[in-house]
């Protein structure tokens, strides 16, 4: 496994990684998280000199492998490593996911396209970000068909086969940076400079039925999700 430069990987993880206790972490996302995100023995803050212990030893020396937690044991803590979240920085948002298997041009040709409208909210503050993507890949969701939007009851953070869906990195890189910039403005006391946005909750909006235009319909299908975004420190 080639070790990527960490800053690039950390950047690539922007708006990524369903990596909280509330979400099942798929295998490869877990691996990416190990490689790019800072893990600690207990999720305390860096100024907590007693308990803030960074995990660094990984099985086989592979940056994508599980952390052994040996540093935690040395410090008298359980041999468990968790993600190092920025505390008290959480964005709630509405995510409109769009997929069009027949995105036409002006000459009768068509391609497969996908997109999203992300509306962030904190109190009375709101911000909207929009992205379009060529093809069926949106972040690490490598096979993002219309029927997923209209049939899937929930987004599963699993990767049991090639068609599983993960909301992560890749083409979502810039979006993640913008989300972080917005969060930095809304949470001025938090230092997000070394952190990346991660999705920690995603669920279909019960008040908004999916738009079903699957199966040869020229219109796009879409579904609205309620999501939460938090921030995790990247490995130095």
Partner 1 sequence: MRRMLVLLSACLALCAAAARASIPVDLEERSREGLQHVCEDREPGEPGYVACTEQVGDAQGEYTGAECVTAGLPPVCTLDFVPKVRLKGKLLLFQDDLARNSMGISRIETGLVLEVKAGRRREKLVELFDAAEIGHWNAFTESFLVDVASQIQFTNAEESAFNFASDNLVAIGDALRALAQEAFPDADLAGAIAVLTTVVREKPKQNLVHDDAADALASAARFRVVVEFVRLRP
130 is an interface residue for partner 1 by CB under 8 A? yes
183 lies in the site for partner 1, by CB under 8 A: no
Contact indicator for 4, 138 with CB cutoff of 8 Å: no
Work out whether the CA dihedral 76, 37, 195, 138 comes out positive or negative. negative
φ, ψ of residue 147 to 5 degrees: the values are -70, -20
Instruction: Give the number of residues in contact with partner 1, rule: CB under 8 A.
Output: 37
Q: Does 128 bind partner 1 (CB under 8 A)?
A: yes
Using CB under 8 A as the binding rule, the residues of this chain from 92 to 111 that contact partner 1 are 96, 98, 100, 103-106, 109-111
Rounded Cα distance between 160 and 71, Å, is 31
Burial of 79 (C-beta count, 10 Å sphere; 0-12/13-18/19+): middle
Say whether residue 59 binds partner 1 (CB under 8 A).
Answer: no
Asked if residue 225 binds partner 1 (CB under 8 A), the reply is no
With binding defined as CB under 8 A, does residue 205 bind partner 1?
A: no
CB of 4 to partner 1, least distance (A): 14
Of residues 36 and 139, the one with the C-beta less far from partner 1: 139
Neighbours of 89 (CB within 10 A): 21
Which of 39, 74, 101 has the alpha carbon at shortest distance from 233?
39
Quote the least distance from Cβ 99 to partner 1, whole Å: 8
Among 66, 117, 190, 204, binds partner 1 (CB under 8 A): 117
Distance between CA 142 and CA 168 in Å, rounded?
A: 10
Helix (H) or strand (E) holding 99: strand 91-104
Closest approach of Cβ 139 to partner 1, in Å? 9
DSSP state letter for 50 = T
CB 1 → partner 1: shortest distance, Å? 19
Binds partner 1 (CB under 8 A): choice among 65, 217, 226, 228? 217
Q: Is 11 in the site for partner 1 (CB under 8 A)?
A: no
Pairing of strands 91-104, 221-233: antiparallel
* Residue 8 binds partner 1, judged by CB under 8 A: no
Helix (H, G, I), strand (E, B) or coil at 176: helix
Site string for partner 1, 131-150 (x = CB under 8 A): xxxxx-x----x--------
Contact between 168 and partner 1 by CB under 8 A: the answer reads: no
Structural contact between residues 26 and 164, judged by C-beta atoms closer than 8 angstroms: yes
- In the complex with partner 1, the residue whose CB is nearer, 84 or 131, is 131
Q: How far is Cα 39 from Cα 131, in angstroms, rounded to an integer?
A: 30
Footprint on this chain of partner 1 (rule: CB under 8 A): 96, 98, 100, 103-106, 109-111, 113-115, 117, 128-135, 137, 142, 170-171, 173-175, 178, 211, 217-222
């Amino acid at each position: 496994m080639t070790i990527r430069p960490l800053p690039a990987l950390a950047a690539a993880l922007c708006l990524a990684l369903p990596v909280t206790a509330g979400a099942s972490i798929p295998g490869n996302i877990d691996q990416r998280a190990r490689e790019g995100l800072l893990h600690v023995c207990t999720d305390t803050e860096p100024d907590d000199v007693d308990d803030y212990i960074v995990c660094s030893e990984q099985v086989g020396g592979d940056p994508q492998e599980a952390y052994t937690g040996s540093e935690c044991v040395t410090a008298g803590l359980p041999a468990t490593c968790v993600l190092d979240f920025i505390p008290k920085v959480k964005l709630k948002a509405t995510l409109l996911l769009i997929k069009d298997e027949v995105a036409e041009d002006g000459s009768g040709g068509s391609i497969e396209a996908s997109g999203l409208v992300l509306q962030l909210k904190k109190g009375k503050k709101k911000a909207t970000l929009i992205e379009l993507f060529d093809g069926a890949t949106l972040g690490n969701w490598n096979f993002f068909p219309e029927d997923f939007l209209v049939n899937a009851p929930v987004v599963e953070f699993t990767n049991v086969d090639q068609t599983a869906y993960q909301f992560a990195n890749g083409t979502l890189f810039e979006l993640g940076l913008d989300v972080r910039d917005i969060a930095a403005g809304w949470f001025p006391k938090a230092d997000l400079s070394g952190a990346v946005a991660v999705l920690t909750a995603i669920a279909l909006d019960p008040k908004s039925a999916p738009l079903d235009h699957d199966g040869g319909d020229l219109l796009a299908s879409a579904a609205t999700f309620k999501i939460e975004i938090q921030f995790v420190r990247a490995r130095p």
